[in-house]
Amino acid sequence: MELLFKFIGVLSLYLLQFSSASLVSTGDFNKDFFVSWSPSHVNTSADGRARTLKLDKESGAGFASKDMYLFGQIDMPIKLVPGHSAGTVLGFYLLSDQPNRDEIDFEFLGNVSGQPYIIQTNVYADGFDDREERIYLWFDPTKDFHTYSVHWNLHQIVFMVDSIPIRTYRNHADKGVAYPRWQPMSIKMSLWNGDSWATRGGKDKIDWSKGPFIASFRDYKIDACVWNGNARFCRGDSTTNWWNKERFTSLNPAQRKWFKWVRKYHVIYDYCQDHQRFQNNLPKECSLPKY
């Protein structure tokens, strides 16, 4: 009987840890995030539901999640820097804290007035990157909030804009392609001066007379597995780990149509088509299925 009680206790602890692995965020920036860079350039509403970052000659700014996560979905509504934003870079990314880093990046590259914003995405896996893609957005992201999402599970990473998949990165680890699957990552936001490279390869510099430059955030959602030191809780199939369900192993038919539309009309750079850069030896994943 004593052994039975011990077993039940261990099982209960296991189930408790397993079920608490998933978190639906509070939506309060003050509770889920901490200011990681230049508090004087971060402004948060009284209720914690909205936040802005400011870039000026003095500094940029940033904030990061208090928890780390292994798989899940993060939705971040953002209104990008309006007007003449050339040289500015807003980063929304997931980052591990290990030397062989994993990273999943959205980077929003500002432009001169009247020219479209560029989204650059990138994936680091086991410390290696060189996987940049760029798209033009099909709307003005400075007029209103739009939701930028990362869906990350054992099978694929999906970058989305207003639920439209703009890029996938599949788990082809069985074929020798590195994939972020073991290291937890924190969520980070930063607004900074990238005018050495961001706009037309650094030709368009920041015009400080147009500043300060403000990016706005609100109503985010984090539904992800909170890292507790044991990967099996996040990798397992459960009601809380909904992102690991079979229907999320690939894009569904509707998503595939949108994905093809983005690829056909809005992609302006794809590392998998840059034969010169890779000297006609493209990375292995470039010849493997995207969904």
Which residues form the catalytic set? 103, 107
Phi, psi of 15 (to 5 degrees): -65, -40
Phi, psi of 154 (to 5 degrees): -65, -20
> Would you list the DSSP string of 81-132?
PPSS-TTEEEEEEEE--SSS--EEEEEEE--STTSPPEEEEEEEBTTB----
Contact 104, 240 (CB under 8 A): no
| Neighbour-count burial of 210, counting CB atoms closer than 10 A to its CB (0-12 exposed, 13-18 middle, 19+ buried) | middle
How far is the C-alpha of 170 from the C-alpha of 38, rounded, in Å? 36
Sign for the pseudo-dihedral over CA of 179, 182, 183, 184: positive
3-state secondary structure of 243: helix
